Amino acid sequence: MVGDDSTLMQRSPKNGLSCKMVLQAVGKVLRKGKGKPNGKKPPTEEKKHYLDAEYTKVRVVDFDLKELVVLPREIDLNEWLACNTTTFFNLINLQYSTISEFCTGDTCPAMTACNTTYFWYDEKGKKTKCTAPQYVDFVMSSVQKLVTDEDIFPTKYGKEFPNTFDSLVKKICRYLFHVLAHIYWSHYKETVAMDLHGHLNTLYTHFVVFIREFNLMDPKETSIMDDLTEALCTPLPPQPQNHVTER
């Protein structure tokens, strides 16, 4: 760098540039790039179409979904968690299947949502970066294996849940959240085109209310979708009713 500056200073008189002018120009560039890596502007954040009011107001139900997740009296907590976790697995798997043809290794070379990239960790803890469809396949395969394991999700009367059940449910919920976040981030346009955004909004809201009710995810893990959560979990204003007056 010093050699370059010396060359510039030596050539300045020949080019009609004074030392003061060169320093002013360099200072201007440095000030422009202050606080920004390499003087480059930060990438413009992509517009989140799923936050548009015309979309967030679309649901398939119009009642408080918390009523569906509250633990009923005389129902065992683990039984309730198992029932709901299995249901959400099936519903989110079904929701993803509607856009799976658009989620390919070419369109989604990484499992992303907002500015976050998710990596897959195998049973040995090995970290792997994979395409979105590969990641979702890993998620669905591993969750399917868990929820059909009689030793983990017992269905026979009198069989106890394992001591690790709570941590396994949290793990499943974390994976399922990643899938929902990816659908919103990368495939919302296709979802709207198929007129399935109302189903997606309702499923997401129901799932978030569930994990909040039983503290199944750290808020830091769901923070990337906080803006959507706020938009969807805020009660909708009452819809005007058409009153017909008989004459």
Residues of the binding site for Zn(2+): 103, 108, 182, 187
CA nearest neighbour of 119 among 67, 175, 72:
175
Contact 177, 40 (CB under 8 A): no
| CA atoms 123, 100, 179, 117: torsion sign | positive
Annotated binding site: 103, 108, 182, 187
Number of H helices, E strands in the chain: 10, 4
Phi-psi region of 16 (alpha: psi -120 to 50; beta: other; left: phi over 0): left
Strand partners, 117: 112
How far apart CA 247 and CA 243 sit, in angstroms, is: 13
- Judged by DSSP in three states, 86 sits in helix
Per the structure block, which two tokens stand in for 122?
């195998």
